Amino acid sequence: MEIIIIGRKLKAILCGHGKIGRVRKAAIMWQTPSDAERCPKVFDLEVFLMSGIITFQETHPSIESYWRSIILFGRNVASYKFALAASLLEIVPTGKTIVTLDDLSEPFSRHLCEHLLNAPKQSTSQTSQFLDSCRSYNRNEISKEELLGVTVQKGFNNVIDAFHIVNEGAIPIRFFEKDYSKGDKRIILTDEIFKLQSMQFYDNLSNEAHARWNLVETAWELGVSRSLITVNYDGQSETLFVNEALRRKTVTSARDALNGYQKGKCFYCFRDIAVNENTENGCDVDHFYPHVLKAVSSKLNIDGIWNLVLACPQCNRGIEGKFARVPATKYLSRLQKRNEFLISSHHPLRETLVAQTGASEQDRASYIREIDKLAINALIHRWETKPEGKEVF
Ligand SMILES: [Zn+2]
């Protein structure tokens, strides 16, 4: 197996909204020489990743969309951004606006230590003194005080500056400002981050951050350069899993992983949904093309992530609910758009969606059209519902 890196020069792209997205580098790593022959298509995909993120932010330029773009679309080299996000989400409800690195060190290192227990690889680089200290703490070799000391010294070196960068550029709003001018290094939380708190299901954001973190660390663990990872769905436990050396490894809850890419709304009616299924408006994991189609053809990948959406209980199984009907054709383009958001995230959802539905946007659109034909022939009836909220994707 050979890895070829192809670099191309491209200065800017134009998305559907006429906005310019900068592309500073578009280097693509190939698994095999035959993959390299697909270069033009996958190169288009790489460019599309940028426009996908811009579309995500601009179809609904809300504070949540910007927050989610940081968590869901970042090109990560270490999981510090997730740890900082999870820490900030914890601090916001306390109302504190001036947060020193001392204050941050406890939640930040705690989240990293917890994730290290399940996934030893938390960075793409070989060594990190900070992560080594977290590992030592997990082995009871150093005290909490020592860990917090190292965290303040070494834990925040890049993440404070990099937090608002999504791929190559900073998002237009800031959730905190850095203030290292005083003796105490600190960040000042802005009104923007407190506005997040007023969204109906604020708790979803923490679940989304941890789900995205779980997916990214799993990809590092398995080594994306060695194998194309496919993330699978287990309908019984409603979790996502990967196969690692013939062993099934549960990665995260399907609800937590998918919610952000739908902006926390029901796929069909745009009601706000909760990822905790036991609360009011707790969502269902719905098969866009109904589960019963499995009996029609074993070739249809009905449990593929491309076909899983989150729906409110009313749409899925309420009076006038969808049940085993085929969604109206107007929902097809919405499914494609949601899937392009999954592709715009970096590994492993992107690899999964490309493997399941095709390497180019056209391939993926025709894949869904083919399944749609089979589905309506078998199930006859289409279903639709009226919107309960603003169309946000
Ligand atoms: Zn609904």
What local confidence, expressed as pLDDT, does residue 227 receive?
54
Q: What DSSP designation does 282 have? A: B
**pLDDT tier for residue 174 given thresholds of 50, 70 and 90:** very high
Give the tens place of pLDDT for each residue, 264-317. 999 999 999 999 888 888 999 999 999 999 988 878 899 999 999 999 999 999
Cα 261 to ligand 1 centre (Å) = 16
What local confidence, expressed as pLDDT, does residue 297 receive?
81
Cα 50 to ligand 1 centre (Å) = 29
Contact 80, 111 (CB under 8 A): no
pLDDT at residue 332 tops 70: yes
Q: How much is the mean pLDDT over the chain?
A: 85
Per DSSP, the three-state class of 314 is helix
Cα 325 to ligand 1 centre (Å) = 15
**Residues whose CB falls within 8 Å of the CB of residue 112, separated by 6 or more in sequence, listed in order:** 79, 80, 83, 122, 131, 134, 155
Looking at mean pLDDT, say which of 198-202, 246-250, 332-336, 388-392 comes out highest.
332-336
Per-domain residue ranges for the chain? 5-65+200-383, 74-196
Cα 149 to ligand 1 centre (Å) = 48
Cα 277 to ligand 1 centre (Å) = 14
Cα 322 to ligand 1 centre (Å) = 10
Cα 338 to ligand 1 centre (Å) = 16
Note residues around ion ligand 1 (Cβ under 5 angstroms): 266, 268-269, 271, 312, 315
Cα 256 to ligand 1 centre (Å) = 17
Q: Does residue 12 or residue 1 have the better pLDDT? A: 12
Cα 271 to ligand 1 centre (Å) = 6
- Selection from 81, 369, 19, 392 nearest residue 212 by Cα: 81
pLDDT at residue 25 tops 60: no
**pLDDT tier for residue 224 given thresholds of 50, 70 and 90:** low
Give the tens place of pLDDT for each residue, 133-150. 999 999 999 999 999 999
By percentage, how much of the chain surpasses pLDDT 90?
Answer: 66
CA distance 157 to 117: 23
Cα 268 to ligand 1 centre (Å) = 5
Phi, psi of 224, rounded to the nearest 5 degrees: -65, -20
Cα 161 to ligand 1 centre (Å) = 39
What local confidence, expressed as pLDDT, does residue 300 receive?
86
Give the tens place of pLDDT for each residue, 242-255. 887 778 889 999 99
What local confidence, expressed as pLDDT, does residue 160 receive?
96
What local confidence, expressed as pLDDT, does residue 221 receive?
86
pLDDT at residue 361 tops 60: yes
Give the tens place of pLDDT for each residue, 33-91. 444 444 444 444 455 566 677 677 766 668 999 999 999 997 788 999 999 999 999 99
What local confidence, expressed as pLDDT, does residue 27 receive?
38
What local confidence, expressed as pLDDT, does residue 269 receive?
97
Cα 263 to ligand 1 centre (Å) = 13
